[in-house]
Structure 1
């Protein structure tokens, strides 16, 4: 993980075994112990409502953490029992938004500007020769590229350029995984899973491992998403 000063705004998913003390304070303690950081609930998950009984249970927040209501019904939560979280819908919503962003990038930017070098190239040059290329200079060189300037103008994150350039399916696949996991995951036995670096490849390796881990949890296991502050 990055240094404590660099982790502000990152989202961590905390996992609890069935029957464990899985309230908000327990999740914060795990985050503090492993990352020396504090955070707030991240209401990332859609809540699952079963076809028949869901017409009744949708008004109850049991087995959920920091639930949000709309017209009295629970719609989103920062966590809770895995069986009550609609992980499929959470991923599908993120995929839909990512698809719209990628297609906007492809139409408005990729077809109208020359391909740009991604941030990772400039960061590697900085690390190779920090005296000649300090961080501010590396950032200036990256952001002065026409394609990067166009992304900034259209409110698209230029530091995701390598993911955009990898194609629609790769970009969308990255973001539905992020919607489920965030930037790091704490397992039920207290292990911290995180990307080895900020590269898209390392993020995919981490997210694939974390998604496999969450998929293998029992339905009565608990999840809690925390945004570090």
Structure 2
């Protein structure tokens, strides 16, 4: 299926101002009010441990939401105080795995098949003349391309084709931003930020804006990642 649209986003990052009630119920209410959807906590963030007392903070879940532990130590969380979330490590891990995926794609797909047209091109044909080209027909034309068939055979997401073909830096850059933000962001003043369209360019514009917004928040502000159906 195509890239999810803003209204069917699967992960929403909710931002809270310092002093504002910032528990899981508050995050759920914000998501429900703006997107009319229910969700669950999404443990996406690595947890920061302070150097001087890291041995102690490693086992304390204060200022965290839905924290996960490994051998008693807090490792991941769905959110919490920005100062306790290790956003750098979260982005770095996403970058690492994205680079591995792109290099595998480059070796097994790009080296053995010709470049293909992305699904957006075929979807444009549908929008230009829906009676002549249905969505199903657009998808059929897209998926019959040898490169797309190879991606399906080797379990690469063919609807990320345009990002794969744009190069490693572009592919990695998209995915570390997604790891931090998800598919939409609710600001501390209740604004909903989403991509203007499903295009990769608009996703980058949205993610750049959202990352800059989160970067500008104080360390005492709180975040919560919410996964919705």
TM-score class normalised by the smaller sequence = over 0.9
Alignment of 1:150-169 (within 5 A): 150-169=150-169
Q: 2:116 — aligned with what?
A: 116
Q: CA RMSD in A?
A: 1.1
Mark the CA change 1:78 to 1:25 in structure 2 (over 3 Å): closer, same or farther: same
Q: 1:59 — aligned with what?
A: 59
- Give the distance between the partners of 1:187 and 1:172, measured in 2 at CA: 25
- Give the distance between the partners of 1:61 and 1:228, measured in 2 at CA: 24
**How many angstroms does 1:40 deviate by?**
0.7
Q: 1:206 — aligned with what?
A: 206
- Give the distance between the partners of 1:3 and 1:203, measured in 2 at CA: 10
Runs of 4+ in 1 over 4 A off after TM superposition: none
Aligned residues of 2:80 and 2:224 also touching (Cα < 8 A): yes
Q: 2:102 — aligned with what?
A: 102
Q: 1:128 — aligned with what?
A: 128
Aligned residues of 2:6 and 2:184 also touching (Cα < 8 A): no
Q: Which secondary structure does the structure 2 equivalent of 1:61 belong to?
A: coil
1:160-206 deviation digits (Å, cap 9, x = unpaired): 00001111001100000000000000000000000011111000000
Segments of 5+ residues of structure 2 without an aligned counterpart are none
Residue 144 of structure 1 pairs with residue 116 of structure 2? no
Q: 2:86 — aligned with what?
A: 86
Q: 2:77 — aligned with what?
A: 77
- TM-score when normalising by structure 2: 0.96
Segments of 5+ residues of structure 1 without an aligned counterpart are none
1:8-65 deviation digits (Å, cap 9, x = unpaired): 6x10000000010000000000000000001111100000011121110110111000
- Give the distance between the partners of 1:193 and 1:81, measured in 2 at CA: 21
Residue 31 of structure 1 pairs with residue 31 of structure 2? yes
Mark the CA change 1:3 to 1:77 in structure 2 (over 3 Å): closer, same or farther: closer
**How many angstroms does 1:3 deviate by?**
7.6
